[in-house]
Every structure is written in C-alpha cells, then in structure tokens.
C-alpha cells in the first residue's frame, strides 16, 4: 500500500492525473487516498525532524566542545612540561 501511495504522489507531482492512472487499480479510492495522506504526512514529519536534528547538532557543538580539539590543546602543553 505504501508503494501505491508513493506511486500516486509521484504521478501527481509529475503532472499526471493520478486519479485516472489509479482508476484501474483494484483498491478502493477512499483507502488509497487515506494511505496517500498518511504517507505524505509521514514524509513531511521526517523532513521536519531532520531539520530539527541538524539545528540541535549545531547547538550541541556550540555547547560541548569537540573532545579531539581539547586533547590537541592539552598535548602540546603536557610535552612542554617534561
């Protein structure tokens, strides 16, 4: 069903009359449209979450310094003390 929903959305986005293309498919139109809506909503939610994740990672880098940078700064001073 998800494949049908993805194909329906692809047809519609490509400018085809998706309803006409899928008129011959042996699936109730109401069920197909429900799945299309849910699938499209899930894709939009995933896009939104990826955006939030990217922003969160940027903020995390500002809050928590990179450990490898801190180690590189400590290493030269430890060598100088010997």
Per-residue pLDDT tens for 37-64? 888 898 899 999 999 999 998 888 888 8
> Mean of the per-residue pLDDT values for the chain?
80
**Unique residue bearing structure tokens 């993805």:** 6
For the entire predicted model, the pTM comes to 0.51
The alpha-carbon radius of gyration of the chain (Å, integer) is: 25
The range of the structural domain enclosing residue 8 comes to: 2-81
Nearest to 22 by CA among 39, 42, 35, 5: 5
Q: Check residue 23 and give its pLDDT.
A: 79
Report the domain count for the chain: 1
Say what the pLDDT of residue 18 is.
82
Q: Which two tokens stand for residue 69?
A: 């940078």
Percent of the residues in the chain that have a pLDDT greater than 70, as a whole number: 82
The pLDDT assigned to 66 comes to: 72
Between CA 78 and CA 82 the distance in angstroms is 7
């Amino acid at each position: 069903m998800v494949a049908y929903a993805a194909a329906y959305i692809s047809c519609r986005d490509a400018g085809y009359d998706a309803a006409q293309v899928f008129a011959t498919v042996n699936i109730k139109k109401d069920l197909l449209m429900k799945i299309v809506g849910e699938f499209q909503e899930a894709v939009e939610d995933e896009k939104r979450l990826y955006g939030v994740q990217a922003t969160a990672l940027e903020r995390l880098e500002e809050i928590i310094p990179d450990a490898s940078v801190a180690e590189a700064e400590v290493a030269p001073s430890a060598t100088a003390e010997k």
